[in-house]
């Protein structure tokens, strides 16, 4: 190789035990490729291999999933890593192969193409605070899922032990009290009661763990300086999930793009004079669930969200049709809250005063603040190619 090697993008398709890489120049010429293990020896071999291109940037798919472990190790070595959304790499794969065939090599090629052609790809950062939040919020979610599963089993057993079973909203203490009133005499009934008692004991332990997890999450979320928990319907788990999934809120140009990402923006399905929109089933489903919980909490209380929902129903919409615009407006409020938090942190440091941003104020957690009912936004303005920064 003559002269100084040009800047390159290293596209990587990561798995648990191996990665497939492809080295691509700015002119989309392939100058290297390979498959390596993800153990210590494999990572060392990969670092030696890319030394032939001193100025490089890594483009990796799945940095929030299966590719996170490799991306974090690259960051620890001082490398620059870009996160390639799976949708972009899938589209590039279709155009590159013609058939959309999916192999590790074609995946690495499509990731390298996206990294070379697209601007605005989000750089992966090693944020310890968000990493801790992600671990704890995932643990809190698994505790909730375990609680739901065991409570379902308790309900099934109580239905066989007590005529009519128990009420829907049942706590572990209430289930324990109900079991105390049951004295089955047959072997099957005694076994049902014993298993139900064991499940109730498990539920009591899970409750204590959930309580401790909520307390820890509350303290950590408060330490970030966010005001998300001031919104009606946003608790510590929801706030933590928003922080770890959104990352840098400024990567969204406006509330419409954020609504598209959350899956709350309607999809335009108009044809000719028939103007209609349909429900989006895309977007980040975890954040969509956070917004659904937020809407449900507001509907249970006399809030502006409840009033807006009732106004939608008064105009002839069904409950589901009224829930969709409510979630969209709550998405706008969450977006403005996070934008305001980011602006405050970038202002004058801790204790600094924000400027006059009343135009984008969330005004509490109420969905009446100039929220948009627009469908999915149009394409964002992008440049043809990514500027390849020098390696760290």
- Closest to 10 measured CA to CA, from 120, 123, 114, 119: 114
CB of 380 closer than 8 Å to CB of 257: yes
Is the pLDDT score of 277 beyond 70?
no
Beta bridge partners of 60: 12, 83
Is the pLDDT score of 33 beyond 60?
yes
CA distance 154 to 204: 13
pLDDT, position 104: 87
CA 141 to chain centroid, in Å, comes to 13
User: Of the given ranges (226-230, 346-350, 355-359), which has the lowest mean pLDDT?
Assistant: 355-359
Is the pLDDT score of 151 beyond 90?
yes
Domain at 8-123, CATH class: alpha beta
236-253: pLDDT as tens digits: 999 999 999 888 888 888
Please report, rounded to a whole number, the percentage of residues in the chain having pLDDT higher than 70: 82
Average pLDDT over residues 169-180: 93
User: Of the given ranges (28-32, 112-116, 127-131, 310-314), which has the lowest mean pLDDT?
Assistant: 127-131
CA distance 312 to 191: 51
pTM, entire model:
0.73
């Amino acid at each position: 190789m003559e002269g100084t090697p040009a800047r390159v993008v290293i596209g990587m398709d990561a798995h648990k035990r191996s990665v497939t890489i492809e080295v691509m120049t700015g002119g989309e010429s392939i100058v290297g490729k390979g498959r390596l293990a993800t153990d210590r020896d494999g990572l060392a071999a990969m670092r030696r291999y890319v030394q032939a291109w001193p100025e490089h940037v890594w483009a990796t798919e799945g940095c929030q999933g299966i590719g996170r472990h490799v991306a974090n190790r690259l960051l620890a070595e001082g490398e620059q890593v870009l996160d390639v959304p799976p949708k972009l790499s899938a589209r590039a794969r279709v155009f590159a192969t013609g058939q959309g065939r999916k192999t590790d090599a074609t995946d690495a090629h499509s990731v390298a193409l996206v990294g070379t052609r697209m601007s605005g790809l989000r750089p992966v950062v090693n944020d310890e605070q968000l990493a801790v939040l992600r671990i704890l919020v995932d643990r809190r979610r698994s505790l909730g899922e375990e609680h739901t599963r065991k409570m379902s089993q308790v309900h099934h057993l109580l239905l066989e032990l007590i005529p009519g079973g128990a009420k829907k909203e049942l706590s572990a203490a209430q289930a324990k009290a109900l079991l105390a009133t049951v004295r089955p005499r047959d072997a099957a009934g005694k076994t049902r009661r014993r298993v139900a008692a064991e499940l109730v004991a498990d539920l009591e332990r899970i409750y204590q763990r959930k309580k401790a997890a909520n307390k820890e999450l509350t303290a950590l979320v408060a330490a970030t300086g966010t005001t998300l928990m001031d919104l009606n319907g946003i608790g510590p788990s929801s706030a933590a999930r928003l922080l770890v999934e959104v990352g840098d809120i400024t990567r969204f140009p406006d509330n419409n793009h954020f609504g598209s990402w959350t899956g709350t923006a309607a999809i335009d399905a108009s044809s000719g004079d028939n103007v209609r929109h349909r429900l989006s089933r895309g977007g980040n489903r975890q954040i969509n669930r956070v917004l659904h919980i937020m809407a449900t909490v507001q509907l249970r209380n006399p809030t502006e969200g409840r009033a807006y929902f009732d106004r939608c129903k008064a105009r002839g919409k069904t409950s589901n049709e009224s829930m969709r615009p409510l979630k969209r407006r709550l998405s706008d409020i969450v977006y403005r809250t996070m934008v305001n938090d980011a602006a405050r942190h970038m202002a004058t440091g801790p204790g600094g005063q924000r400027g006059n941003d009343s135009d984008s104020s969330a005004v509490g957690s109420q969905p009446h603040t100039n929220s948009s009912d627009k469908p999915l936004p149009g394409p964002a303005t992008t440049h043809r190619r990514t500027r390849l920064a020098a390696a760290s």
